Amino acid sequence: MKRYSIPATLAALAILVSPACADNHAENAPQFIRTASAASFETDFTVAAENTVNAVVCIKSYTNQRQNPYGNGGGGYDPFGMFDFFFGPQERQQQPRQQQRNSEPVQSGLGSGVILSEDGYIVTNNHVIDGAAKLEVLLNDNSTYEAKIIGTDEATDLALIKIDAEKLTPITFGDSETVKIGEWVLAVGNPFGFNSTVTAGIVSAKARSLSQNSRSGKMGIESFIQTDAALNPGNSGGALVNLKGELIGINSAIYSNTGSYSGFSFAIPTTIVKKVMTDLRQYGTVQRAVLGCTVTELDAKIAKDKGITAVKAGLLVMDVNDRSTAKELGLMENDVITAINNVEVHNFAQLVEQLNKFRPGDQITVTYYRDNKKATKSGTLRNNQGNTSITKKGDFSEIGCAFMKLGEETKRNLGISSGVKVTGLKKGAFSDAGIKDGFIITDINGKRVNNSDDVEMIYNQIMKTDGDDKVMFITGIYPTGKKYYYAVNLSQE
């Protein structure tokens, strides 16, 4: 039997029909012959690369003690095996004990950042700079600067830092909401320490959720741009751009069981980045608006059980909080939210992405269905405290006192193994809670304290949380031997 190769010019034909066959069955033969038409697309990445590389920087983080940059024993992946926040390589050789005792900061991580302004504001991931005693920024022209932290937001894994420089090349922002699945994108960063590396891929998905925050009601990042552009340790905090070189996302995570690229990467969309950066620069902390209701994603089973036939996707309202926007809108249990400001929200990830664009005090319009009838109402967004006040950046000095370390003899006399003494009390959170001068704090939120640094560390951990209430639960004793318990409210209104 002879074998024939089909010329490339005939590859567009699904089936080749002989003339004889065509004549005999012209009327009844199925129409299998089609001409393929391929969509034209631009694959020249040079313009995008040229417009981006000078706006992406390398960030080296230093700590006073040698730490594992992965934070989980060096495995390179999170405990649930879902995705990795990643740092760059670190020196893994054992250093002499004498050198390890040196107080000089040592490099503990490597990441990327994107220049936002000519005067040195730079966006990166929070996990790139978290815990750093010193930050060093390397520009594409090999200029090196020391950076200071302007603000961080653990919930969105974003941070704003600044270097003392002028006439830098800032990135041009694009609109992540107009990005389409299948669109070409470039990722620019410093994988494994290789500066200004460019990789290409397509947008694989949008509004991708990676966690279970929808069950807990947290307001972190739930709406990543998924791409197959190769990202590796060191890319974290770098740019994801379209073919015009416009920023559409900040690279933040990879799906991997090894800590290196395995096919999927995730970026924080610019709709969120712009708002968070503006808040950090203007207020020092993110102004986060909440709708004020508990929701679950609508599926076929729930729709059948609830008799919902008008829509197939949306957020089913389970409960409405008092003093909330949802309460003002008149939302009720079993309503199905389908849009925010005319932007469709089919799942929790999309809802959080839309809410993250607004601040308390902003007006929004919510589209929902009740009893299979469509309704639209407008209201004012509020914060976790149920008002529209600006949230102030937490400052440890606002607790209104100083702390004195206890001597071993005092501990023995009082029968305690830890403690720090409150002194110099003035107006602030501690005095508002009823704490008096001389009170000895033994533990806060179940953690022992022995000095001012311990108290400040716990304070910072509390202030980083995204919950409704920020409270120090304090256990302690007065010099008379009487034990007391206090709840110190740290919420800023």
| pLDDT, position 300 | 94
| pLDDT, position 253 | 82
| pLDDT, position 146 | 96
- For residue 444, the tally of other CB atoms under 10 A from its CB is 23
pLDDT tens, 169-221?
A: 999 999 998 999 999 999 999 988 888 899 999 999 998 877 644 433 444 56
CA-CA-CA-CA torsion sign (421, 427, 430, 436): positive
What is the pLDDT averaged over residues 141-163? Answer: 93
pLDDT greater than 80 at residue 421 = yes
Q: By percentage, how much of the chain surpasses pLDDT 90?
A: 54
| pLDDT, position 215 | 38
| pLDDT, position 103 | 60
pLDDT greater than 90 at residue 82 = no
The segment with the largest mean pLDDT, out of 73-77, 86-90, 180-184, is 180-184
Average pLDDT of every residue of the chain = 81
| pLDDT, position 76 | 32
pLDDT tens, 115-140?
A: 999 999 999 999 999 888 899 999 99
pLDDT tens, 370-400?
A: 999 999 999 999 988 888 887 777 778 788 8
| pLDDT, position 213 | 40
pLDDT tens, 211-237?
A: 644 433 444 566 899 999 988 888 999
pLDDT tens, 48-72?
A: 999 999 999 999 999 876 444 433 3
Range with lowest mean pLDDT among 70-79, 273-282, 411-420, 446-455:
70-79
pLDDT greater than 80 at residue 249 = yes
Band of the pLDDT at 16, cuts 50, 70, 90? very low
What is the pLDDT averaged over residues 83-101? Answer: 42
| pLDDT, position 467 | 60
Higher pLDDT, 215 or 465: 465
| pLDDT, position 385 | 80
pLDDT tens, 354-367?
A: 998 899 999 999 99
| pLDDT, position 111 | 94
**Rounded to two decimals, what is the model's pTM?**
0.72
Q: Which residues are catalytic?
A: 127, 157, 236
What is the pLDDT averaged over residues 236-265? Answer: 86
pLDDT greater than 90 at residue 294 = yes
- Phi, psi dihedral angles at 452 (to 5 degrees): -65, -35
Band of the pLDDT at 464, cuts 50, 70, 90? confident
What is the pLDDT averaged over residues 276-304? Answer: 92
